[in-house]
Structure 1
Amino acid sequence: MASLRDISGDGAGDALARYWTFYWAVAAAQLTRWLPRRPSRVLDISGGHSAAQAAEARHTVLEIRDPGRTEAPAAPRGAPPAKGATIPLVGDTGTLAYLAGGSMDAVIAENRVLSRHLATEATVAEIARVLRPGGRVLLCVDSLTLGMALLAERNYWAHLSDVPSAEVVLIPWPDGTITRSFSAHQLRELLAEAGLEVEWIRPRTVLSPSTVEHVLADSPRT
């Protein structure tokens, strides 16, 4: 995941249930710390709970939903009523040509949405275009480490050997989908080409699923 600012003016089944609960709790905490302190115009293309969380923090959120997902995601149980507003809009999250340039204070591209859009450069360029000068972006992509682990798990050794020299790494998932993985260097380069200055790039969590499962099994309230 990465945080940036504009300088033109980011479940594996019941066996990992605890891990994904932990993962999304970390994601929510990171988003809370990142969100602007003052009410702002926020664009969310994530397709998750980010829009509701940003609205609860008093922001006006334009939530773009891909045509195949026209219903709003269910709010987490016990979620407080929104203090801001969420404006849903059905549209292609990969191309934002229907939005005016410089119209957004912040953009949230969470939930690996940029890895699912394989032409990531085009989407990031559009994100940079709709940001006002000084605006900020929070995004999350699949790491190259994850991509290599998936290839190894499926015995794609020929593909794995090509990874070090590949400029674009596309990963086939067991469910038939394909996503794009990035090294920190590749992501930094892609963002710089779009005119975005990187504030930080860091892993969402350095804890393995097995570690999280072990700790939470012994101490569920941790």
Structure 2
Amino acid sequence: MQASASAVRDTGPAADYERFRAAVARAQLKAWLPSGQARIIDISGPGATAAETAACAGHTVLRVIGPGTQPPAAQSPAAQSPAAQSPVPPRPRASGRGPLRMVAADGWGLEFLADGCADGVIAEDGTLSRHLAAESLVAEIARVLRPGGQVLACVDSLTFGMAVLAEQHRWPHLIDVPNADVVLVPWPDETITRCYGAEQLRELFTSGGLEVDWIRPRTVFSPRTVSYLLAREPGSFGALVEAELRARSDDSVGAQLITCARRC
């Protein structure tokens, strides 16, 4: 069964929350990155700077982008290299910043990569929500990961999808969401996002041959809570990020879910 609705994109949370969410995402990524020097494939959406963060941590990173996609400014132009170069660069020999290369591939396709060539895959900025046939992409992620390799992914949640439906007064679609196998929310610009509950996200990865280690919201604190606390104590930003990272959370809350899965 499929539930869908037309919706108008929200203008986004307050600037304080955007800054907070970005800081939390960086911290979560740094905590997930393997120790030592690893080969990382980054298939994140165009707004992510995960590849730069991983390279700065000393890892060898291949950034896969869609044709015509402009990467974030932090990753260009020095970090870019032609797609004709070797798609999986060698491990760096010294500590410090690792090499970061880019390749354009249709739909974040990984067919050009060898089996078991990566220690980790990053799928930030809603890649598995934008890629509607996410099952095929997860199968490719599992194929390119070495045994024990991990994937870190962030997706739009059912909470987000249901909020959009409610804001647009799509009550019949909203009622269908809990029983839907796939929830697709199309926007006026003709893009579509696929929203996941925790069980749907777990099934996506296990059916692709991966074992899920954990699922949690990107953030537990709401935009209103973040803005309120920072207005009261402007110097508490770092402490607020630390509190978010330590918070025990129900995976049914939050506009986005993040998950870590591994190839056994």
TM-score tier (shorter): 0.7 to 0.9
**Aligned partners of 1:86, 1:167: CA distance in 2, in Å?**
37
Cα displacement (A) at 1:215: 1.4
Secondary structure of residue in 1 paired with 2:106: coil
> Percent identity, aligned pairs only?
56
**d(CA) in 2 for partners of 1:141, 1:201:** 11
Q: Which amino acid aligns with 1:196?
A: L
1:129 and 2:143 equivalent?
Answer: yes
TM-score w.r.t. the length of structure 2 is 0.74
Q: Which amino acid aligns with 1:143?
A: S
Confirm whether residue 209 of structure 1 aligns to residue 223 of structure 2: yes
Does 2:169 match 1:170? no
TM-superposed deviation, 1:174 = 5.4
1:74 is aligned to 73
Is the CA contact 1:67–1:92 (under 8 Å) kept in the aligned structure 2? yes
Give the drift of 1:221: 2.4
Q: Unpaired segments of 5 or more residues in structure 1?
A: 1-10, 77-81
Which amino acid in the other structure matches residue 209 of structure 1? P
- State the 1:83 CA deviation: 0.8
C-alpha separation in 1, matches of 2:232 and 2:60: 41
Kindly report which structure 2 residues correspond to 1:63-102, keeping only aligned pairs within 5 A, or say none: 63-69=63-69, 71-75=70-74, 83-102=97-116
Give the drift of 1:149.
0.6
Structure 1 segments, 4+ long, off by >4 Å, are: 11-15
How far residue 175 of structure 1 moved from its aligned partner, in angstroms, is 4.8
- 5+ unaligned residues in a row in structure 2: which ranges? 1-8, 76-95, 237-264
Aligned residues of 1:107 and 1:136 also touching (Cα < 8 A): yes
| Equivalent position to 1:219, from 212, 221, 233 | 233
Q: Is 2:137 the partner of 1:147?
A: no
Find the aligned partners of 1:221 and 1:173 in 2 and give their Cα distance.
Answer: 37
Q: Please give the secondary structure, in 2, of the residue aligned with 1:26.
A: helix
Work out the CA distance in 2 between the residues paired with 1:15 and 1:167: 28
Going from structure 1 to structure 2, the CA distance change for 1:215 and 1:84 (only over 3 Å counts) comes to same
Choose which of 118, 134, 144 in structure 2 pairs with 1:120. Answer: 134
2:18 corresponding residue in structure 1? 20
CA contact (8 A) 1:18 1:213 kept: yes
**Whole-angstrom distance in 1 between the partners of 2:147 and 2:72:** 31
- Residues 112-154 of structure 1, C-alpha deviation per residue, up to 9 Å, x if partnerless? 1110111110111111111111111000111111110111011
Contact 1:65-1:88 at 8 Å conserved across structures: yes
Amino acid at match of 2:129: S
Q: Distance in 2 between matches of 1:60 and 1:148?
A: 39
Q: Give the secondary-structure state (helix, strand or coil) at the position aligned to 1:101.
A: coil
Aligned partners of 1:64 and 1:93 also within 8 Å = no
Is 1:157 equivalent to 2:209 in the alignment? Answer: no
Is 1:200 the equivalent of 2:199? no
Deviates further, 156-165 or 195-204? 156-165
Query: Following TM superposition, by how much is the alpha carbon of 1:68 offset from its aligned partner in structure 2, in angstroms?
Result: 2.6
TM-score, scaled relative to structure 1: 0.87
